[in-house]
A = this chain, B = another copy of it.
């Protein structure tokens, strides 16, 4: 069964400018899942009694949520999509998801929400890296 993201990409009236629709779909969905995870992890960290030890985690969660939400919105838009702009945004999303994953992994043994969030960040990072390769090939 096609996902919502796939249905929208297939109903777009123009050439959406990608060869691998499935990769774009997965990237958008993982960015959305990562943004939500980071929002949830920041809030759960605030609810922990040792919140003072989780300050760097909350801060990166908030940044990563903002960057991934922006990337999700921009990559969802396919009218006149510009490879150079997408490339830069993907590179930025890779750095934020990677940094947030690393910080969450430090607390994953004690906090389930950090473990879950690290997983979502790594999935988003991985898809962004693959989609970046595709975008770079288009630019050649």
Q: Chain A interface residue count: which class?
A: 35 or more
Contact residues of A between 53 and 112, Cβ < 8 Å to B: 55-56, 58-59, 62-63, 65-67, 69-70, 72-74, 76-80, 82, 84-85, 88-89, 91-92, 95-96, 99, 111-112
Q: Does any Cβ of B come within 8 Å of A37's Cβ? A: yes
Q: Please tell me which one of the listed residues B33, B51, B80 contacts residue A52 in the complex, with CB atoms under 8 A apart.
A: B51
> Hey, which bits of chain A sit against chain B, CB under 8 A?
4-5, 7-9, 11-14, 28, 32-33, 36-37, 39-44, 46-49, 51-52, 55-56, 58-59, 62-63, 65-67, 69-70, 72-74, 76-80, 82, 84-85, 88-89, 91-92, 95-96, 99, 111-113, 116, 120
